[in-house]
Amino acid sequence: MPEKIINLKQIRQIDLYGINNSKANLIKSLFPELKIVTREENIKIIGEEDKIEIFSSFIEKLIRKIEKYNTLSDNDIISVYKKKIQNTDFDKIENETIVFSNTGKPIKARNENQQKMIKKYNENDLLFALGPAGTGKTYLAVCLAVRALKNKEVKRILISRPAVEAGEKLGFLPGDVKEKLDPYLQALYDALHDLMPVRKLNDYMENGVIQIAPLSFMRGRTLSNSVVILDEAQNTTVKQLKMFLTRMGKNSKFIVTGDITQIDLPNEKNSGLLVANKILKNIKGIGFINFTQDDIVRHRLVAPIVKAFSLI
């Protein structure tokens, strides 16, 4: 039976193997047809020759990721595996730096559909990003907005999200507008904090460069020189989404994100996102990107959880 030994001298073995061999066990589970033995700085593979070569190429890609980013997550392993099996050049997919994080880490596309989202954003003034939780669509939208602001392509960022989940009118909640909306916008805040220092973010918000506004407060405004993000758009009504989209002014980019499998409206058929997905696709200047369960980039259990619930 053919066999091969791969040497790992160029990296720390724990980066590839994981604590208590957690990553090594994950890698082994992806190639059940091979006998894989991990011994310190060597990996011994036994099996059919063509499958050994596929595994070797897969490991080389993981090593390059470790050398480049000094880290390797379970999601990285699964993403590289999927792209390798599909004969997709993952290196080309992730070659564009969108923006740098607060710690200087380059933020790049994690998979092919994320790269498509970036491309469609560049090509269109209005972008719809649809898909399940964990695909990075909201985080990527914020990254693109921050990039535009840093590059002085726009003068401000506006973010909005319907507060349907509360089951209450915002007016009955305590605090000012920002405090009322904060619980529903936490994912966006988390992304902003990841991309810029706290003091800078606070200055931007105090000066109105970055604005948080409930959907109802958008009425009557013309939003120019801005990147405007509407998150959780599946919970907007048709009238609300129409009102939001018609706020577009000169030199503005609108990004609408949502998951049509998580509509919290009393009547799901009244979801503006469902309707927009049907009637706006053929309009020039409007782009659509549809993420799937295969694009989930959170913990490796999120994808099978989403899949299990989709079967109910």
Going along the chain from its start, the domains and CATH numbers come out as: 3-93 (3.30.1370.10), 97-310 (3.40.50.300)
How much is the pLDDT for 168?
A: 42
Average of per-residue pLDDT across 16-37: 91
47 and 1 Cβ atoms separated by less than 8 Å? yes
Query: pLDDT digits over 37-46, tens only?
Result: 998 889 999 9
Strand partners, 227: 157, 253
CA 135 remoteness from chain centre = 5
Rounded Cα gap, residues 45 and 116, in angstroms: 35
The phi-psi region of residue 267 (left if phi > 0; otherwise alpha if psi is between -120 and 50; otherwise beta) is beta
**Of 48-57, 107-116, 158-167, 220-229, which range is least confident?**
158-167
Rounded Cα gap, residues 33 and 84, in angstroms: 16
| 61 or 163, greater pLDDT | 61
Where helices occur in the chain by DSSP H, the ranges are 13-17, 22-30, 49-69, 74-85, 90-93, 112-123, 137-150, 177-181, 186-195, 198-206, 238-245, 272-279, 302-310
Rounded Cα gap, residues 265 and 37, in angstroms: 52
| SS3 of residue 155 by DSSP | coil
How much is the pLDDT for 275?
A: 94
Rounded Cα gap, residues 134 and 295, in angstroms: 8
How much is the pLDDT for 37?
A: 93
Q: Is the pLDDT of residue 215 over 70?
A: yes
Rounded Cα gap, residues 152 and 150, in angstroms: 5
Q: Which pLDDT band holds residue 169 (cuts at 50, 70, 90)?
A: low
Q: Is the pLDDT of residue 104 over 50?
A: yes
How much is the pLDDT for 182?
A: 66
Rounded Cα gap, residues 222 and 248, in angstroms: 6
What is the token pair recorded at 127?
Answer: 């972008």
Cβ count near 133 (within 10 Å): 16
> pTM here?
0.67
